[in-house]
Amino acid sequence: MIPIKNLFFILCYAWGRLDEGELVRASVDEAGTPQDLLARILINGSNRVLKDGLDRGYLEFAEESSSLRGKIDFSTSISRLLFEQAKAATFVDELSHNILHNQILKATLISLSNSDLIDEKLRSELARLVRKFNDVDLIRLTASVFKRVQIHQNNSFYAFLTNVCELVYLQGTPNSDIGNLKMRDFSRDEIKMRKVFQDFVFNFYKLNQKEYSVASERLTWGAIGDEEALRHLPNMYTDVSLSSSTRKIILDTKYYAEAFQSNWGKQSFHSSHLYQLNTYLDSAQRTSKEVRRLDGVLLYPATNDEFTFKFELRDHSITVAALDMRQDSSQ
């Protein structure tokens, strides 16, 4: 199992939110479970936004008044004979805390406060925070809600909190509702963690070295045939491509509980993983003629034994390695 402190570190890198993570990291390593970790992050983050003042945005509402302000609603004013009463129906924009990212935060705080998977002390802190969102409506969270969130420079801290809220939502079971959240341990969800691990590795290289440019690179199949057939070929992207003027390294990240396959008592590398990496290297070889050296890496997470194996394959240096996820993330 990945230590809680390291799990927090991985999430911050994966979301590209290291600065925001520093602001809420107090006590996160005291969380006993991944679910408690998410609760602690939201508690710390919510305390911060409440201290600074909840973000506000302009919301439009309708009113009838004798003092004109906003935009006149002529249709309503005429149909209700408001002009004859020296009044008018208007649309007015006013600053309000009742905006989408505050609604998402409130709904998630309530869900966690009602979950029996969360430490009781944390649940009490969550419930206390909810009461400070009185002027924010309670909404039902759906996948589409998170896509509508608008973050700008002045409220960028909310992007980090929204990432956490979305992870809580995605790890809820199909029968979860706002009053009884049954949340899975996301760190044991291989499908979810594959993307987290991939983004962690990508952003780690992007932020911690300058020798190589970092990208997810679109590769071509080099196939020849009729246009109809070629249109059905899937897109091919690397997880991470590290490129310099003389060398390119293609990293393929694999979040698997076991880095080896076993056949008849013999352990070996996963065949499909090597085939995939070899396909990437063949494609890059065709399109990167100016690169003198082209290497490949299969990178796995390790919570037991770290390892590194190197060999040559068709003029390419191949590394199969497991990154120790237990080492101190502060070093």
Q: What is the pLDDT of residues 299-311, one digit of tens each?
A: 999 867 788 999 9
CB atoms within 10 A of CB 225: 9
What average pLDDT does the segment 95-112 reach? 93
Q: What is the pLDDT of residues 122-156, one digit of tens each?
A: 999 999 999 999 999 999 999 999 999 988 888 88
253 phi/psi in degrees, rounded to 5: -90, 140
Q: Hey, where are the domains in the chain?
A: 4-55+100-188, 58-96, 193-324
pLDDT band of residue 166 (cuts 50, 70, 90) is very high
Q: Whole-number mean pLDDT of the chain?
A: 85
CATH-assigned architecture of domain 193-324: 3-Layer(aba) Sandwich (3.40)
pLDDT band of residue 176 (cuts 50, 70, 90) is very low
Amino acid identity of residue 172, one-letter, is: G
Looking at the chain, the whole-number percentage of residues with pLDDT higher than 90 is 47
Q: How many residues does the chain have?
A: 331
Q: Tell whether the model's pLDDT for residue 84 goes beyond 60.
A: yes
- List C-alpha distances in Å: 87 to 72, 78, 303: 10, 10, 70
Q: Of 34-48, 166-180, 198-212, 308-322, where does mean pLDDT reach its minimum?
A: 166-180
CB atoms within 10 A of CB 7: 23
Which range, 81-85, 196-200, 226-230, has the best average confidence (pLDDT)? 196-200
Which range, 88-97, 124-133, 317-326, has the best average confidence (pLDDT)? 124-133
Higher pLDDT, residue 227 or 305: 227
Note the pTM of the prediction, 2 decimals. 0.79
Q: Check if the beta carbon of residue 170 is closer than 8 Å to that of residue 196.
A: no
